[in-house]
Amino acid sequence: MKHQFEPFWWSWFSAGGTLSALVLPVVMMIFGISVPFGWIDDPEYDKLKSLIAPVSSRILIFICISLSLLHWAHRFRFTLYDGLQLQHLNRSLAILCYGSAILISLFAGYVLWNF
């Protein structure tokens, strides 16, 4: 019997999409609109650094980054698979998309850990 990994990847896709939909608009509103238009004061470097300093904050940031990247990987894989009709490259697309998401997540974890 052939193992199917689709439910595994779909669960990460769903978690990443939900988290991205809840967190990223708030971050974009604060740093992309409110600060540039002067609605709120620029956050000071020391204050931002103190927010990221606790390990729990870095873990949450890592989770947000990783789940968003896995969401992207799944969406991009199926865009190439269905949209561009690249069914013959299914395994290569999966390795490329999920592998790059995992590698970038590991790099983000490294940067956050050494912060």
d(CA 115, CA 109): 10
Q: Where are the domains of the chain?
A: 6-113
CA dihedral 36, 40, 42, 44 (to 10 degrees): -160
Residue of 63, 69, 80, 60 lying closest to 9 (CA atoms): 69
Question: What radius of gyration do the chain's Cα atoms show?
Answer: 18
What string of pLDDT tens digits covers the 115 residues of the chain? Answer: 456 777 877 787 888 888 888 988 998 899 899 999 999 998 888 988 898 889 999 999 999 999 999 888 888 888 887 776 767 777 888 888 889 999 999 999 999 998 7
d(CA 14, CA 70): 9
* Residue 108 to residues 14, 59, 93, Cα–Cα distance (Å): 21, 11, 22
The reported pLDDT for the residue numbered 3 is: 63
Rounded Cα gap, residues 44 and 49, in angstroms = 9
Q: What is the pTM of this model?
A: 0.77
Hey, what CATH topology would domain 6-113 get?
Answer: 3 helical TM bundles of succinate and fumarate reductases (1.20.1300)
pLDDT of residue 13: 81
